[in-house]
Amino acid sequence: MEVPVIIYLVRHGESEDNANGIVGGRREARLTARGIAQAESTAAYFARQGIRPSVTYTSNQVRAVATAEIITTKLFLPSAMIKSSLKERDLGDITGMRKESIGAKTAGDMILGHDNRRFILAPKGGETFPQVIERGQKILDYTRINHAGESVLLVTHAITGLMIMATYYGIRWEEALRKYRLGNASITVLDRDTRPQNATIYEPH
């Protein structure tokens, strides 16, 4: 019988690109002062709830690494290990664009997501959503094999995190984009006793 893993999925705190309305993707952007405070608030929530993940993995991008460092330091946990498969979706030639300048004529077909957020389906030189789903499945398989019976903290990004969530709960990626969102430094729990609509248990303000 498979021993379940509990996964705590945390998106990085607010980055400079988030604050400036820029499509970040694989760009490197530091946390803002607000993003640091959000990560500290998330760490405090873990502490209040008595949640101490056995192991932490983080994307190799600066904003995620900084978020993971704040959380593990505040909780006196071992430092996060880098897992590059947690990095954000490669957004190709729209990387670095201002969000309001992206349209169907310049970036190809799109899907309207939660809160009217626009997601480009196939940016030139970028990843498709099925490709990100494939990365998400590999991450989940890795945790099941290597951390059975443990709780695992994954610090990642908005789109990658949503695709991991969709993979875990067996939701089509289109549905995940339309129905769910991961706010900055939010905590989403993936376990057998939680339904997807109740999976996000904390989001700092």
Strand partners, 109: none
Secondary structure in 3-state letters for 78-97: CCCEECHHHCCCCCHHHCCC
Q: Over 90: is that where the pLDDT of 2 sits?
A: no
Going by DSSP bridges, is the β-strand pair 6-11/151-156 parallel, antiparallel, or unpaired? parallel
What pLDDT, in 10s, does the model give residues 6-45?
999 999 999 999 999 999 999 999 999 999 999 999 999 9
Q: Over 80: is that where the pLDDT of 79 sits?
A: yes
Rounded to two decimals, the pTM is 0.95
Q: Over 70: is that where the pLDDT of 62 sits?
A: yes
pLDDT value of residue 117? 84
Of 5, 4, 28, 6, give the one whose Cα is nearest residue 16. 28
For residues 17 and 29, the answer to whether their CB atoms sit within 8 Å is: yes
Q: Over 60: is that where the pLDDT of 104 sits?
A: no
SS3 51: coil
Please name each of the domains of the chain with its CATH number: 6-202 (3.40.50.1240)
Of 132, 115, 135, 137, give the one whose Cα is nearest residue 183. 115
